[in-house]
Chains A and B, each alone.
Chain A
Amino acid sequence: MQTSKITVGMVLRHALMLLVLMIFLFPIYWMLVTSFKPAQEVLTRPPTFVFEPTFDNYRYAFEQADFTLFIRNTVVIAGLSTLLVISFGSLASYSFARYNPGDGHILFFILTTRMMPGIAVVMPFFLIFRDLGKTTFGQLFALGLDQIGALVVAYTVFNLPFAIWLMYSFFQDIPTELEHSARLDGYNRLQVFLRVVLPLAAPGIAVTAIFSLMFAWNEFLFGYILTRDAARTITVGVSGFQTQQGILWGPLAAAAVVCILPMLGVALVLQRYMVRGLTFGAVRG
């Protein structure tokens, strides 16, 4: 029988959960608080919890540091690279799931490209884009240093293997009979892919898109090395508040809040969808 009695164990468990929650959420809370603090109160000891909130830091970030441009750059780069990742990734992973070219060797080779850290390839990337930017092709697609195209390509290259592996399992879970059935219903291969396979793989594609978007949004290293001003991304923008005169904590916190808000929103809205999508491949029924 169920009782509503509060036991010592329950109290302890909740206390522990509260403690862990506080440890994890405190930095975010402090960032939020700092972003609204007047400059003179940011570094006071002991720290102040009660103060008169101000928007000065936000004003500084957007007016002095050109955060509007950084956000615009990041939206364009993350959006475009995600679009490319999904377009190429879905076709590639579908092929692997259905035709298995290379008997799994090519698929494994694709994964191995993710086994080296970004820092190992950042210099080669730098040299490639420096030279590519001087060519007509590179200029046409903005593939030079400090140009948006270069980052779009870099993020696509980096995200594609992961996306292929993630979507591969989703495509594998779609029964082949559905495709056979659609063929017999009178549709050709491409029509079957677009009308049957893609809609059925939608949860998987959504999850992959979210991951790709988050990676591109949060990426720092490539953005830092491959851009200077015009193509600067939001994470690089945040780090820009570490100046030679010192760290501008207030504007930095304000910029960081602006930086995490969109992805936090995406994560909250799509949380249930994402969990369902990630387990979709494992348990079907």
Chain B
Amino acid sequence: MLELRAVTKKYGHKTALNALSLDIQPAEFVVIFGPAGAGKSTTLNLIAGITDPTSGEIMLNGHPMNRVAPENRNMSMVFENYALYSHLSVFENLAFPLRARGMGTPEVKQKVAEIATILQITPFLERKPGFLSGGQRQRVALGRALVRDADVYLLDEPISHLDAKLRHRMRGELKALCQRKEAIVVHVTHDYREAMSLSHRMVVINKGHLMQFGTPDEIYHTPANEFVASFVGEPPMSFIDTRYAQYQGRVALLVSGTETQPVHLPVNGQAAEFLGRAQPKTLRVGVRASDISIERSASAKHDIPAEVYVVETLGHRDIITVKIGAHLVKVVAAPGMNLHVKDTVWVNIGPETYHLFGDEKAIAHPTGKRKPAPVAAPEGV
């Protein structure tokens, strides 16, 4: 088990990582996910022992690691900029970590051949890294990390430089390869698909702070706050500023900026009760593009008027950005609606699709989708 206990890293006055605590189970594949400058690579470097934490403790299988040199941690790492030894051939690069452990030549050859076959780099074994393409170099870097048996594999954006097709294939290969290793894998990426598809659990961090640590399901369906909600998902979640209001004798949410021609979002169940009790001043409603729909004409379901702002055609579906009041909301629509900018459409945002956020924190999530949310104050909206 790999544990981070309130690990903080400061560079001068700048805090790169703030009291990060994680417990990573044996053979778990954990993806650290966040925007640039979030502290993803810093976390990896701290685990690897390349940099020392300012405070906090890193434990591996119950042993404190803070004072253990990188070469004695039995961890293996892929660096974002490959870090290949340019004076050595691809074969020697792959053999480098094996030779450090005094492995005999026949075994080295066998291990290198195995990993080279999996990563499809056998034809380049005699070449120097300088004569390889970016994708080939990245595969060599991956091979050098995976060629030996380590307790922990640290992968810093290991497949981000591959082209889309190869990346897709490598994603599968990587998952299978790591499953076979039965070791802890900590993988850093800024690609949410990669994060979702590879991980057992995801760590979402931003500006050095832990935003959420949970399974991809939890992260997607019950994001802990607006940051996680907006960062996970394609297209990103849309947010609508609302106010608590009474509408036709019932609790409702008035969309901010629509006071002249009020647009109300209905609320039902426990959430209405909660809102009636707490009466919060402001609330933000988050909706995923795939959870809402639009029609050309109004109906009982499609009762919120909106104006088409942007139309993005993706082939199998269109992504329509509509304006509700001053808020831009993305909607997934089937192709063939033939919409144009400034057209009026009617939107269906059901209360069952809301993610409610107050003061940046999640208050409620839609129920019935997946597991119940641990952060939800009232169950169900």
Interface residue? A103 (CB, 8 A): no
Given known A180-B48, A180-B70, contact A186–B97 (CB-CB < 8 A): yes
Interface residue? B197 (CB, 8 A): no
Q: How many residues of A contact B (CB 8 A)?
A: 17
Within residues 60 to 87 of chain B, which ones have a CB less than 8 A from any CB in chain A?
Answer: 69-71, 73, 75-77, 79, 81, 83-87
A184 contacts B85, CB within 8 Å? no
Residue of B nearest to A192 (CB): B71
For A187, the chain B residues whose CB sits under 8 A away are 71, 100
Distance A86 CA – B84 CA, assembled complex (angstroms): 26
Interface residue? A52 (CB, 8 A): no
Q: How many residues of B contact A (CB 8 A)?
A: 23
Distance A175 CA – B83 CA, assembled complex (angstroms): 8
Residue of A nearest to B77 (CB): A184
Distance A186 CA – B75 CA, assembled complex (angstroms): 9
Interface bits A159-183 vs B (CB < 8 Å: 1, else 0): 0000000000000000101101111
Distance A185 CA – B95 CA, assembled complex (angstroms): 10
Distance A177 CA – B44 CA, assembled complex (angstroms): 13
A180 contacts B71, CB within 8 Å? no
For A225, the chain B residues whose CB sits under 8 A away are none
A180 contacts B86, CB within 8 Å? no
Interface residue? A202 (CB, 8 A): yes
For A178, the chain B residues whose CB sits under 8 A away are 83-85
For B77, the chain A residues whose CB sits under 8 A away are 180-181, 184
Interface residue? A68 (CB, 8 A): no
Interface residue? B176 (CB, 8 A): no
A183 contacts B96, CB within 8 Å? no
Given known A196-B85, A199-B87, A200-B86, contact A181–B79 (CB-CB < 8 A): yes
Interface residue? B365 (CB, 8 A): no
Distance A181 CA – B45 CA, assembled complex (angstroms): 11
User: In the assembled complex, how far is the CB of residue B326 from the closest CB belonging to chain A, in whole angstroms?
Assistant: 46
B87 contacts A185, CB within 8 Å? no
For B100, the chain A residues whose CB sits under 8 A away are 185-187, 191
Distance A196 CA – B92 CA, assembled complex (angstroms): 12
Pick from B71, B83, B85, B86: contact of A186, CB under 8 Å: B71
For A199, the chain B residues whose CB sits under 8 A away are 87
Distance A182 CA – B71 CA, assembled complex (angstroms): 8
Pick from A180, A186, A202: contact of B79, CB under 8 Å: A180
For B70, the chain A residues whose CB sits under 8 A away are 180, 183-184
B86 contacts A184, CB within 8 Å? no
Residue of B nearest to A191 (CB): B100
Interface residue? B277 (CB, 8 A): no
- 6 A–B contacts from the bound complex (CB under 8 Å): A180-B70, A180-B83, A184-B48, A185-B71, A185-B97, A200-B86
Instruction: Pick the 6 closest A-B CB pairs, nearest first.
Output: A186-B100, A185-B97, A177-B83, A183-B70, A181-B83, A199-B87
